[in-house]
Each structure stands twice: as structure tokens, then as C-alpha cells.
Amino acid sequence: MADRLSAQLGLSGKGAKQAGKIAGNLYSKAVVDSFEDGAAAVRAVMSSGLIPEKATTKTIESITTKVSDLATTFDQDLGGAANAATQLIRTGLAKDAPAALDLLTSGLQSSADKAGDFLDTINEYGTQFRKAGLDGATAIGLLN
């Protein structure tokens, strides 16, 4: 499975070892139910662009844990959650991954997800929120 994860992410050597270690840690810490679920979480988060360049293993694991917890808690697609967080950062609605994930959590806890399309709305309209001069909290407040 680690080889498959490496191939899916286009990693080799140190990067592949790091991704496999993170997937294993997520499983051993009961963040996910299996190594395969850990690998899927690492793949979703790393391929979304959510991980800052030169991030440490600890940072990658922390962000991946938060995305996995958010997706599990609110019964959301892991990749969709990672992509929505990335969109919040790219559009300037959030400064970093922890802030983006906090905004998503707030939105999912509120009526902003009443129609079940909150993450899709963030992905689709993030640029429009930015153009309107809104910050992330205000945009989610308006959706709420």
C-alpha cells in the first residue's frame, strides 16, 4: 500500500517514506480505521495543495488529522474538505490550513450547510467572496 501511495503522489525516496509514515501514524493513533484510510487521507490532503511547501512531517500529519476529523465528523468527502480548505487559502479568505479548517468547521456546524452543498459553495464561490471584499468569517456568516 505504501508503494501505491508513493506512485499516486509521484513521490520517491524520502517523500515516499514520509507519506507512508504519516499514513501509519494516523492509523496507530486511531484517527483512521486502517492504514489504507490513512493513505487515502494523506493522498487527498497532499494532492489538494493544502500542505505548505517545505512542511514538516509533524505539520503534514497535523493538517491531515484535522481534515480527516472534519470529514468524519460531518460525513463529508475527504478530498472535498481538503479542496475547500485549499480554496479558502488561495482566495485569501483564510491565512493557512488551520484557519481554513476552523472556518469550514464553523460553516458545517451552522445552517450554512443546510442544503448539503457548503463545501461545493466554498469551492465555487470563493473567488467571488474575495472580489466582494469579504473575509472568510463574513462569507460563511452570510451563507449561514
pLDDT tens for each residue of 92-114: 999 999 999 999 999 999 988 98
Beta strands in the chain (DSSP E): none
Report the distance separating Cα 138 and Cα 132, nearest Å. 11
Q: What is the pTM of this model?
A: 0.86
- Give me the pLDDT at residue 134, please: 94
Q: How confident is the model at residue 137 (pLDDT cuts 50, 70, 90)?
A: very high
Number of residues written out for the chain: 144
The per-residue pLDDT for range 32-41, each reduced to its tens digit, is 998 889 888 9
Report the distance separating Cα 12 and Cα 137, nearest Å. 39
Radius of gyration of the chain from its Cα atoms, rounded to whole angstroms:
15
